[in-house]
Amino acid sequence: MSLDVADLYRKHGGMVFRRARSILGDDERARDVVQEVFFTLHRDRDRMVNGGLVSWLYTTTTHRCFNELRNTSNRSRLLDAERRTSSQRDRSEALVHLRGILRDLDEQLAYLAIYRFVDEMTHAEIAVQLGCSRRHVGDLLVRLEEKLAAVRAVAS
């Protein structure tokens, strides 16, 4: 597969940046993820086959962001980055809380939480992203709710 990464960056870079920024809540870290994603695309472009480019970019960006969240130990930086207007602040605080919870979840549940609560995807859309059945998505959501209830119980 012959890919002109510069052209792909011009065409899809904004989408990757918006995805990363919505998950990370930080423009600088989102730009770093964009660079990593397109570097990986450049390096591994001959191995890219299944699922199509946009799907690969979406999944790779989510994965990079998830790793960034897991590797981040500076939670106060996330809180500072979330200072917004009052209507946005409620959502931002929920996202900061979600980011903290994501670090402690196994990878599949963390992706599920992002798809459900950040992207507001339907069960069918999540099933496509996770490569599983809608029924399995429902089972995973039950597990996620149990984990979230446990976190709430500890927090109270």
Could you tell me the pTM of the whole model? 0.53
At 70, the amino acid letter reads: R
Residue 138: the pLDDT is 93
pLDDT digits (tens, 9 = 90+) for 41-62: 888 776 665 558 888 898 899 9
Look up residue 117 and give its DSSP letter: I
Strands (E) in the chain, as ranges, are none
Residues in the chain: 156
CB 5 within 8 A of CB 41: yes
Based on the number of CB atoms within 10 Å of its own CB, is 70 exposed (0-12), middle (13-18) or buried (19 or more)? middle
Domain locations along the chain: 1-81
How high is the pLDDT of residue 148?
Answer: 82
pLDDT of residue 56: 86
CATH code of 1-81, in short, is 1.10.1740.10
**What is the pLDDT at residue 79?**
53
Q: Which residues of the chain have pLDDT under 70?
A: 1-3, 46-51, 72-95, 97-98, 155-156
